[in-house]
Chain A
């Protein structure tokens, strides 16, 4: 799924991705296939499972993009939330339908940007039936690519002064930029564009991708499939980049800057490339995050969010893409779903269990994270990828014969 060194590997990876996507579609629509009433709670569309899958898909892209920078290039940047914010706002601003603009921007008497991609494509392909679906898909896709581009352009200008700094200074400077971006987007004077400190909403979200029949009932659910598809494409692109000559240059920079420079690697160019690419994908994941939470609001994209993503990367193993993806789903599932019971006051046989009440989940969770950070420093995967594990086993079997 991850490393595509040979043709055979590439084919296997594509097949694995296709199988996974098909499984997601099946899982999502199983409630429509089974007779109503026999559907287990877990598979109902309102189940936590799907929220976890969607959020996991969004965060895995954010985590992989952070891993590209922190794990593969060795640039310790803490600006991820800032770039996600840029992506989220770009997407939101360009996607709110013109008809809804007055309602969303009511505090500022309408929006300064009276244009949305979905409407634009709607005039070409029509707004009903297949034409409507095409214009929705194209509108969202173009807005997402632009979201990434805006983040990348900002990253370029931020990178010019900042990338000269070393390790922890770089971290704190990127963190500072993320805070500055957050403040700018909350500025009242920019209200007609960014809606000030209020949220932007009413843009197409994941559930807009569910296909509905004429009477409004859902025929085919695609709301979980969509984030999976986008994340997969983006992560595949990052994999290709990492396995290219650029990727090898990134790794050389991570191992030893001076040696890499002596080998003829242009440090400034490659660092900037890594920084902008990472920002691009962070922007895309920010756009998806906005779709996931169905609004865009600057105050959500805090340093805590960056820390969260960083901790995911660490748990997965710094320098392992499959590790980051697995860690994301584990992290999101634990924090949103599996450990929920820790937050509820539970009484068994008339005895109230100690400690269990609101907030305990996060305490347990952060203790687990500290244990990983202190005692399992290499995370789940270290710097290995998923296929490496199978490869090693295959080779061992081969020598055994």
Chain B
């Protein structure tokens, strides 16, 4: 019983961290129809920034700076690698995303020397707490609530502000939105900024739990988060959050059995099942193809 609870708690916590990454994927996909393969690496870079900045600055200064720099990175990636390809076929943009991911990973290997780095201990978040007889870190408990608060705030932004309305319009129809006088480029930038900021927060929570950061540390959480976004219905923010919790719990349940090797395979099997049986995911809108 205690074991089951600890598995469930860590599943929910990891799920919350995936949710923060998944929102970045789902928002970008909703607007650009692009799988932003570099998003997982942005998440990893946020982790590395956390390590380097906290080595020279006090935490209360380092963490906001991490957030700021990650946002800048996300913004620059969009401007440099995706904007020039706006009229190109979708495949070119996706290849560009893969290229960016390759570049970030290689640069990170160059800078860190490829060795795993240890994430700094954030006081309070890393403290141990005992819940239902199982010791765990505070971050595990706080993550789901933090995620819910952030998602609610994001929903407010999207549904009740001018920027949010523009985002919804662009997601609905790119060209018409442009004709209606919406500045597409700035809206897309805002999307990337929000996504990167959430990824940065996600990285602080995730790497407090799993402290070793290697240059490829972002790839797998990134892929899992993407799967979560698809499971929830890509383009839908509540969908991404629900999907992320499902993925997080599934992964931890599989990890707790003897089939540990299959924890990622299980995630992907779920993805394929969803794609085949219900391609629009749990919350996605049905789209009909027009010739």
Contacts and interface: CB of A to CB of B under 8 A. Distances in A.
Interface stretch (B82-90, B116-124, B130-138): B82-90
B272 A369 contact: no
Contacts of A370: 81, 96, 99-100, 103
Contacts of A311: 95, 98-99, 102
Interface stretch (A49-57, A59-67, A160-168, A242-250): A160-168
A353 to B, nearest CB: 15
B113 A172 contact: no
A359 B109 contact: yes
Interface in A57-115: 70, 76
- Tell me whether chain A's interface is mostly helix, strand or loop, or mixed: helix
Interface of B: 33-35, 80-81, 84-85, 88, 90-92, 94-96, 98-103, 106-107, 109-111, 113-114, 216, 219, 223, 226-227, 230, 261-262, 264-265, 268-269, 271-272, 275-276, 279, 291
Interface in A4-47: none
B268 A179 contact: yes
A310 B95 CA distance: 8
A342 to B, nearest CB: 10
B103 A366 contact: yes
Contacts of A175: 223, 268
Given A173-B271, A314-B95, A161 B276 contact: yes
Interface in A334-369: 357-360, 362-363, 365-367, 369
Contacts of B106: 359, 362-363, 365-366
Nearest to A181: B265
A70 B268 CA distance: 22
19 contacts: A76-B91, A162-B272, A165-B275, A168-B94, A172-B271, A172-B275, A175-B268, A179-B265, A180-B265, A183-B262, A183-B265, A184-B262, A258-B291, A304-B102, A307-B101, A307-B102, A358-B113, A377-B85, A377-B92
A48 to B, nearest CB: 21
Q: Is the interface of B mostly helix, strand, loop or mixed?
A: helix
Contacts of B101: 307
Interface of A: 70, 76, 161-162, 164-165, 167-169, 171-173, 175-177, 179-180, 182-184, 186-188, 258, 303-304, 307, 310-311, 314, 318, 357-360, 362-363, 365-367, 369-370, 373-374, 377
A334 B227 CA distance: 35
B154 to A, nearest CB: 24
Contacts of B276: 161-162, 164-165
A13 to B, nearest CB: 30
A165 B96 CA distance: 22
B279 A169 contact: yes
Contacts of A182: 265
Contacts of A183: 261-262, 264-265
A186 B99 CA distance: 28
A334 B114 CA distance: 21
Contacts of B94: 76, 168, 171
Q: Which interface residue of A176, A184, A370 has the most chain B CB atoms within 10 A? A: A176
Given A173-B271, A362-B109, A365-B106, A373 B96 contact: yes
Max chain B Cβ within 10 angstroms of own Cβ: one of A165, A186, A358, A374: A374
Contacts of B81: 370, 374
B98 A307 contact: yes
Given A168-B35, A184-B262, 17 more contacts: A76-B91, A161-B272, A167-B91, A171-B35, A176-B272, A180-B265, A183-B262, A187-B262, A304-B216, A359-B111, A362-B109, A367-B103, A369-B99, A369-B103, A370-B100, A373-B96, A377-B92
